[in-house]
Structure 1
């Protein structure tokens, strides 16, 4: 479980910062939790006298992570479309125009010369 801070309740006392074992909490006007660093130990929520630190539901956390991963997948797909890279599976056989092994521009130039 991860946590977030309700900024309307946070008074900026800094108690949560002092108990966070991974230093996931920073202070500007109010405290902020870096959700990627937070381990979900709950120490911060235990010391917050105003109840400003609340649990983030697991599905919200998964939406955050899947949004990041979908961006990575889209970037990979776009790179493949842009550069026209095709490949076989690990145990596949090689056919003309299909690359296996070393990739990149140098590897593709070698393949073109062999044709």
Structure 2
């Protein structure tokens, strides 16, 4: 029997109750690599997270030291992954020369 995947859409919902009747049901957690653009000067910020909307709010409320001086930020690009490691790897790619070129093309 093939496993079923159910998306978890609530922000910060990580607790899944144990249930013997669940059988092969698996919860699919989404992770994201994202790119923000500063509305102040146009610079780009690359990161990864479980919750893109929550993370954008954190950037725009000044909770992130590296982006605090360039607020406000807008989300311009993101990709979804099944694991945190995949999202982190993609974030690292975005920060390379070829990754910056990729983003530049996507944002045209």
TM-score range, shorter chain: under 0.3
TM-score (norm 1): 0.23
The TM-score, its normalising length taken from structure 2, stands at: 0.24
